[in-house]
Structure 1
Amino acid sequence: MQTSWILCFTSVAKVLSRLSMRLKSTGRPSAPLGSRILTDRDDVFKHNMWDHVQWTEEDKENARQKAEDNSCVRIPVTEQGKYNTGAGQYWDSFYETHQDKFFKNRTWLFLEFPELLPLGAHSSDANGRQSGEPPSCGFSSDAETRGHQHSSITEQHRNGDTADCQQEDSTQTVTFPGQHAPFRILEVGCGVGNSVFPIVKSIKETGTYLYCCDFSPRAIQMVKEHPDYDRSVCHAFVHDLCEEMASFPFPPQSLDVILAVFVLSSIHPERMQEVVNRLSAYLKHGGTLLFRDYGRYDFSQLRFKKGRCLSENFYARGDGTCVYFFTKEEVHTLFTNAGLEEIQNLEDRRLQVNRGKKVAMQRVWMQSKYRKPCPLPS
């Protein structure tokens, strides 16, 4: 009994020691999802972002009431159809207006999603740490599982789980861009390339090929005109994920990774499942779908005014683009119904700070990893 108590005390001491070191760090917080913890409310305006923020019951109730209030007046049913049929035009106008100035390049990708690189490849972040190295886990209410989940999927990926799946190679008899690449990635809803170009920069000389698509022709045009666009490792194309008959330029079961970052939320909730089902069909057995998107009661949901709600937790912005806000349970159902198995499914709660205006905003994002299981041996 005494030995167990000593071991428990030692484990707690180690965790507190690691947390103390993180709080003193001035570099980028470690993955997954950061580890800059706000322990003193008086320090809130010292940084632009705080990680793993714990909501009180009062916070949750206030958020629920705000969402209920801003969704009580909905866009008339007779007007809702235009947001579906005109989605492509709305996003085309968005990119025409904002060009590549609206979103920043996602340099955090390889810290949170090391699965984007094939076995043996590395991508260094600003602090010189390589994505091939298992990162330390975050510290929050979910921390006890985060480190294990993140290290587990990274190890499985590095050890070649995809290669271990015995399957027929459907790519050998079909001619398509990137057909000879041993590792293939697809980014859906790529926009103007904020994920594309960090990936392109990191995959050269790794044998990896990247496909990227968006249903905005203007966005794809901007990707192709970018000076870092490299046709030898990347193929950009226009594609509507909701169009059942639209084909991809590669065969089923040919992808190692599918990346969906802030894209499924723009699709009507009633159509999301069919989209994920179709995407799943293009993953190899052992392939991974990486997902990041808006979470329920994010600041951006609570700031909507009355009359912008289309359906429960689904809104139309002033420019005509739409956005949905997910829960962990909805994400899990969406991907497991498509035949994928959970590797990671996290709710990322952060406090985003505008130090100039002295405003703190509670952000909620979902981050998930789901894998296509290997078929059982006959």
Structure 2
Amino acid sequence: MHVFECRTKVARAPVHPCDQMAINSTAKATTMSGNSNPVNKALEELVEQAGVKKVVLEDHEKVVADDVWTEEREVLARELLAKDKSTIPEFWQNKYEKEAAKNWDVFYKRNTTNFYKDRHYLHLVFPDLNAQEARPRHRIELTGDDPSKPKTLLEVGCGVGNAALPLLEINPALNIVAIDFADTAIALLKKQPLYDEARVAASVCDITKDELPLTAVANGGVDFALFLFCLSALHPDKMRAAVQKVAAAVRPGGKVFFRDYGRYDQAQLRFKSGHKLQENFYVRQGNTRAYYFTIEEVAEIFEGAGLVCLENEYIRRQYVNRQQNIVRFRVWVHAIFQKPVTAPAAESIDSSS
């Protein structure tokens, strides 16, 4: 399927920049792949100029290692992104925004449950989601949790359950309210063998315009909320209102967990011209979108919703594909916020923007 085939359904639609680039590249009969690809070559040059050590290659048993970031490397990455000064025409920007849910629905129809791997690490990076008996004693004492009382997690952008279902397995005292704006994702989640209606309430909800389901706000709200690689799919102008809506559903003392794409992630550096919607916001193959955050932006968004920052940091990793002899450099933002027991008023946000 052509990335922009939806263009043919609109009469006299402008030619998308990527379509024109594809036409030009076909005319030149140029085929590039692997490290001969201009984008890969540019990234390799950046790594060499910055003197980055590929530590993941030092141990043949390793496939992942921590990456070290430097100021020089950030300057080079910023300069690489600055070379692309063009943005997609307003017609396409509006179309991607209007059809955001539809494009993700198409994504799940095409990939079903096979695209994302299950997230079996969440109870480790967010210990509050772990089973009570598996959590360190000092954490239980600090939080004052009642072991006999089940906890409720609201997951925004749950997809087909790659986060929710592993958490159900690891923590029998956790119930989950799962929402996503893709109908197909929710339908697939409900067909999963581990889906249990007694513990999971999944429903279609567009966080940018719909009210949260009653299960998320009943009995004083939820104990936890999770944004896992989903806030980046929203238009930046709508992120604050979405977070504010979720924060309002969290009980005083509850926590909001966040993990998403970080600035200068290799996926961001690989975008070719014709994919940029605005600074640090891009359209992917399949017409879904992705934003790449700084920790400062994340703090501003969540603290603006009346939450207190407990953790907020970059996670930088090197991954190696030894068959292809390629090292990939990934960047994420990991953060935890808490709703004060006496919550301050959140910033006023116009949800219609």
TM exceeding 0.5: yes
In structure 2, relative to structure 1, the CA distance for the partners of 1:237 and 1:158 (3 Å cut) is farther
- The superposition leaves residues 325-366 of structure 1 with CA deviations (integer Å, 9 ceiling, x where unpaired) of 000100110111100001100110111111111111111000
The residue aligned with 1:133 is 136
The residue aligned with 1:351 is 318
**After superposition, where does 1:35-184 map in structure 2 within 5 Å?**
43=58, 46-51=61-66, 53-70=67-84, 72-117=85-130, 120-122=132-134, 132-133=135-136, 155=139, 158-160=141-143, 182-184=150-152
Show structure 1 runs of 4+ deviating over 6 A: none
In structure 2, relative to structure 1, the CA distance for the partners of 1:260 and 1:41 (3 Å cut) is closer
* SS of residue in 1 equivalent to 2:203: strand
* SS of residue in 2 equivalent to 1:305: coil
Gap runs ≥5 in structure 2: 1-52, 344-353
1:224 maps to 2:190? yes
1:302 maps to 2:288? no
Shift of 1:249: 3.1
Does the aligned pair in 2 maintain the 1:109–1:195 contact within 8 Å? yes
Mapped to 2, the partners of 1:47 and 1:290 lie a distance apart of 28
Shift of 1:182: 3.9
Shift of 1:121: 3.7
Does the aligned pair in 1 maintain the 2:180–2:203 contact within 8 Å? yes
1:194 maps to 2:209? no
Q: Normalising by structure 2, what TM-score?
A: 0.77
* SS of residue in 2 equivalent to 1:159: helix
Shift of 1:275: 0.5
Does the aligned pair in 2 maintain the 1:162–1:285 contact within 8 Å? no
Cα-Cα RMSD: 2.2
Does the aligned pair in 2 maintain the 1:162–1:256 contact within 8 Å? no
The residue aligned with 1:215 is 181
In structure 2, relative to structure 1, the CA distance for the partners of 1:40 and 1:314 (3 Å cut) is closer
Gap runs ≥5 in structure 1: 1-37, 123-131, 135-153, 164-179
The residue aligned with 2:285 is 318
- Identity among equivalent positions (%) equals 35
Mapped to 2, the partners of 1:76 and 1:264 lie a distance apart of 23
Q: Normalising by structure 1, what TM-score?
A: 0.72
The total of aligned residue pairs comes to 289
Letter of the 2:175 counterpart: Y
Does the aligned pair in 2 maintain the 1:95–1:218 contact within 8 Å? yes
Shift of 1:41: 7.3
> Which of the pair has the greater relative contact order for Cα pairs under 8 Å at 6+ separation?
1
